[in-house]
Amino acid sequence: MDGGSGLNILYVDSLDTMRIPWSELCPVSSPFHGVISRMQAYPLRQIDMPIMFGDHANFSLEVLTFEVVDFLESYYAILGWPCYAKFVAIPNYTYLKLKMSGPNGIITIGSTFLHAYTCDHEHY
């Protein structure tokens, strides 16, 4: 979760893990700033992907546009404010929770501090 980011980012390793062929990606030529300190970066491609939060009884499904990048990172993807706006979701960074409305109540997505620490520690 990155509420300061104006992009949804998908790392190329995640794309390969999901076995999504490069033929499904669209070319892009616009750089972006802020992901790498003091440098502009160019995404490799873009992809529109259906994203679902929740379970079969209570879910929310939207199509999000991701910038595919080839950076070394400890995450699979980063969800920025375009995701939050589309899902009308509210992030809580203190508790590592993301909440949104579903057809049968509130959907809560969360993680643990231990999982976040482990991801960061393995990468760095």
Per-residue pLDDT of the chain (124 residues; tens, 9 = 90+): 555 577 888 988 888 899 999 999 999 878 877 666 667 778 889 999 999 999 999 999 999 999 998 877 767 888 888 889 999 998 887 778 889 999 999 999 887 777 767 766 766 6
Residue 35: per-residue pLDDT: 63
What tokens does 93 get? 């960074």
Q: What does pTM read for this prediction? A: 0.80
In this prediction, residue 64 carries a pLDDT of 94
Classify residue 112 as exposed, middle or buried by CB count within 10 Å of its CB (0-12, 13-18, 19+): exposed
* Sequence spans of domains, the chain: 9-123
